[in-house]
Structure 1
């Protein structure tokens, strides 16, 4: 159904893009620094699922509506930015609490455990309107229209891209959490690193909020 050469080309492009640190990488690294390996990997999974929901939206034609609507694009963008800032503030508050009471430092994430981290990653992934615009512009270029089933081809291509993103972001998350473990020789230092991750997410949220609409 999907031309194998186009699938390979799409996978190569997705791999190259995934290797470049972008918003999803910064989000995962921030979660890893703030809350550790389990939270980071759960966030990676949720983010990939959220991203694939955007692929489905593009395949169904919803992506074109978002790409063309300045208002809808702005609403989704600000919602995603606000949620990133919210997660960053929660991480900062947790680091301040841990610094005040060092013995309370644990691997427990303030985002509600693994399930909460998956949900957080999903929300961040699904509220990225720039991904919709990008997918709307790029996915159709790799579809073999003569083979038919255009929507199904987009879903398959998007699944391949999501799996590659899952692998790439997972590597970033593991790397950042390993660095966190190595640096956190004391509870106070762990709290400081967690605060750094919180600030990173707040900064990312602010950057997303002020970034203009890609034309």
Structure 2
């Protein structure tokens, strides 16, 4: 695996993680209701959930890689289209961010478990990883070595992202209720996702 592939994966992951999904909405809802103390347990829960989803995804990707080069290539093309689809959906989301503060007191263990469940058991998480990860794999390289590096990178970024969201939401609570800020955020993220999917297709057609 080249440094360029890793850097591209890290950059794409950072963009994708920053876009609010069910997990981030959960993190923000706890932070809005209970403040900064939610940051660490929620971030740990998110990282554990992503670890579970990514590990399950790896097993499927490894099987496809071993089965057929053509099937694996089709998966990568479908993954690029999926990135564009996510980008369009996010761009069209406008200024809405449906999140309500969770005011009921919860222990750190309960918050961590809740974050893990929402992240790991969301079928879209596994589907996403199966579509996303192959974009950066070298089929001729050591599969498990690459996946170890990619998983460690993603989990570190996921932990940091969830922690940042919780701390910012707890401190600057009005931002989560500002439609204008959310609209700009959604459109910027959607444009970046569409660009990432298009760039993947362009690079593939040039090979």
1:136 Cα shift?
Answer: 0.3
Structure 1 unaligned blocks of 5 or more: 66-87, 95-108, 183-215
Provide the rounded CA distance (Å) in 2 between the counterparts of 1:168 and 1:57. Answer: 22
- Normalising to structure 1: TM-score of the pair? 0.57
Q: Which residue of 2 aligns with 1:169?
A: 162
1:139-167 residue CA offsets vs partner (Å, 9 max, x unmatched): 1221112122x134223212211211211
User: Using a 3 Å threshold, how does the CA distance of structure 1 residues 151 and 129 change in structure 2: closer, same or farther?
Assistant: farther
CA RMSD of aligned residues (A): 2.8
Q: Which residue of 2 aligns with 1:12?
A: 11
1:174 Cα shift?
Answer: 0.2
Superposition map of 1:53-202 within 5 A: 53-61=52-60, 91=102, 94=104, 109-110=105-106, 113-148=107-142, 150-179=143-172
1:163-197 residue CA offsets vs partner (Å, 9 max, x unmatched): 112112211100111235x9xxxxxxxxxxxxxxx
Structure 2 unaligned blocks of 5 or more: 65-98, 175-207
1:34-93 residue CA offsets vs partner (Å, 9 max, x unmatched): 22212233112101111111111111228989xxxxxxxxxxxxxxxxxxxxxx99946x
Q: Which residue of 2 aligns with 1:41?
A: 40
Count how many residue pairs are aligned between Structure 1 and Structure 2: 140
Larger radius of gyration: 1
Is the 2:32–2:101 Cα contact (8 Å) retained in structure 1? no
